[in-house]
Amino acid sequence: MQSSLAAKYFQTGAEFFGVEYPILCGAMTWVSDARLVSAVANAGGFASLAAGNMSAELLATEIRKTRDLTTRPFGVNLITIAPNYRKHLDLVSRMQVPFVIFAGSFPKRPEVEQAKRSGARVLCFASTHSIAERMLDYGADALILEGMEAGGHVGFVSLVVLLQQVLFELSEVPVFVGGGIASGKMAAHLFLMGAAGVQLGTRFAASAESNIHANFKQKLIQAKARNAVATPQYDSRLPVVAVRAIKNAAHEEFGKLQLQLLRELEAGRLSRTEAQMQVENFWVGALRRAVQEGDIASGSLMAGQSVGLIRDIQPVQKIMDNLVQDIESELQRIRADLST
């Protein structure tokens, strides 16, 4: 049962989403499906389906499945650079999904407006104060700050800096934060800093309801924080979004791919857009092999640095209960300290 002290700090985010706890499960391609999303929703939190680059038909099926599995709010995370992005945006608008999260890159104003016309509340990521202001100008109802500690595609700035750049400077809309979070104790301090809610990805990937292969889950339990490394960009002529994952052969293969694509670019046999598409196809395919086939050697084991804090596989409900209890305990401890 949520106590009055936690309720005070949960109020803004909980009311925004219409949930019990403003604890978000980050959208993870191939992982955030109807089963995991509904499990988080039924446990009192908020989650969104990861559209990735699935077909519009498959996304529609996942939305319907989620609605069958929960009556509670959920969203859909759209990747703005995905080839099927426009189809996804049209679909979620038609199906009147209550929350739309734009990710991958920054949406254009008409895209935000389209989602809002359907009745959806819109969330956008912001990596700087100026981008946050632009997203608000476009009509974003809330922002998500995700530090480079997170898994999957990441930016270049840590959550600690983003808190100072954006969270401390904005008060117009709810601001949710993620990247490197795996414990309720840490979450409690983020709520005290002004966060409307916290987003965890890797912790929920290591849940009983997560569909990732048992081999992958075992790697999550075994990995240390330093094992989750971000892939480098070799040359500015081929801009790539860094991907954080548990280091394995996929990192070496990605390096070889970049060198090959740079040679193709130099020879004029490939455009930069085509090269970037091959980069994205590499990661999508490698992640699928890891999640669905358990290929831990050459598949992409996307995980955040918080993987070093995860030591077991738990049901989503237990994860949520532990987080809420630990948030409450830490808030009570801090209040007692301040009273002495």
- pLDDT, tens only, 17-65: 999 999 999 999 999 999 999 999 999 999 999 999 899 999 999 999 9
Counting residues of the chain whose pLDDT is more than 90, the rounded percentage is: 84
Is 293 or 239 the better-scoring residue by pLDDT?
Answer: 293
What is the token pair recorded at 204? 């929920």
What class, spelled out in words, does domain 4-212+312-339 have in CATH? alpha beta
- Please state which of the ranges 19-23, 202-206, 238-242, 260-264 shows the lowest mean pLDDT: 238-242
pLDDT in tens, 116-167: 999 999 999 998 889 999 999 999 999 999 999 999 989 889 999 999 999 9
Average model confidence (pLDDT) for the chain? Answer: 94
* CA 293/CA 318 separation, integer angstroms: 27
Provide the pLDDT for residue 70.
98
Provide the pLDDT for residue 1.
43
Average pLDDT of 315-335? 97
- Name the residue among 274, 213, 154, 197 with its Cα closest to residue 25: 197
Where do the domains of the chain lie? 4-212+312-339, 221-305
- Please state which of the ranges 145-154, 239-248, 298-307, 329-338 shows the lowest mean pLDDT: 239-248
Examine the pLDDT at 2 and tell me if it is beyond 80. Answer: no
Average pLDDT of 277-292? 89
Is 2 or 113 the better-scoring residue by pLDDT?
Answer: 113
Provide the pLDDT for residue 124.
97
Provide the pLDDT for residue 279.
86
Provide the pLDDT for residue 3.
55
Provide the pLDDT for residue 156.
87
Burial 168-199, CB ≥16 within 10 A → b, else e: eebeebbbbbbbbbbbbebbbebbeebbbbbb
> What are all long-range contacts of 282-287, with beta carbons under 8 Å and residues at least 24 apart?
282/253, 282/254, 282/257, 283/153, 283/243, 283/254, 284/29, 284/52, 284/53, 286/250, 286/253, 287/29, 287/30
